[in-house]
Structure 1
Amino acid sequence: MARTNEAQLNIRSRFARDRVTALARQTGMTATQVVEEALRAYAPPVEGAPPAGLVRRGRILVMPASGRPVTVADVEETLDEIRNERC
């Protein structure tokens, strides 16, 4: 008797097999459900896009601004404090 569903995926990675088994036990899902859910959630990185958490500013990658903006006066004040500590 022929199979009606020939879908099959063989994964030879010990890590993947162990991780899927552990997640299936923790969640009560089947191994197939765990793999399907992981594949639905996966989004490959976009070619040329900066790594997560960074933004491109010209030719360099920087962390996006958070909190209040830093002024030239703030920088000068901090540098003066550092210079005075060394004396």
Structure 2
Amino acid sequence: MPRRNSAQLNIRSAFACVRVREIARRTGMSATEIVEDALRGYVPMVEPEAVGNLVRRGPLLVLPIGNRRKVRLAEANAALDATRDRRS
């Protein structure tokens, strides 16, 4: 007996499972058809382009290290203490 080669996708998200069932009930489509249709229409977000002197670090745009003033631990603690001592 030949073995069937069928692809399978397991959805572990409770939200996705419930939502697919709702859409299937309303449209009469199968869960597979719904997922295929959603994937055909999906367009991934474009990554942001560098602006000014920002540089890319993974998916983020950040200021380069060389352009920032270094803050010492004592300065940071003094600023935090001053802010904590202020009364609102």
Q: TM-score, normalised by structure 1?
A: 0.52
Deviation at 1:2, TM superposition (A): 5.0
Q: Which residue of 1 aligns with 2:28?
A: 28
Look up the equivalent residue of 2:28 and give its one-letter code: G
User: Which residues of structure 2 form unaligned runs of 5+?
Assistant: 53-88
Deviation at 1:21, TM superposition (A): 0.5
- 1:15 matched to 2:15? The reply is yes
The 1:14/1:45 distance shift into structure 2, 3 A limit, reads same
Q: Which residue of 2 aligns with 1:42?
A: 42
User: Which residues of structure 1 form unaligned runs of 5+?
Assistant: 50-57, 60-87
Distance 2:27 2:16 in 1: 16
Distance 1:44 1:2 in 2: 39
RMSD: 1.8
Q: TM-score, normalised by structure 2?
A: 0.51
The 1:5/1:23 distance shift into structure 2, 3 A limit, reads same
Distance 1:14 1:41 in 2: 22
Distance 1:16 1:10 in 2: 11
Look up the equivalent residue of 1:45 and give its one-letter code: M
Deviation at 1:27, TM superposition (A): 0.5
Deviation at 1:6, TM superposition (A): 2.7
Identity of aligned residues (%): 59
Aligned residue pairs, count: 51
3-state SS, counterpart of residue 21 of structure 2:
helix
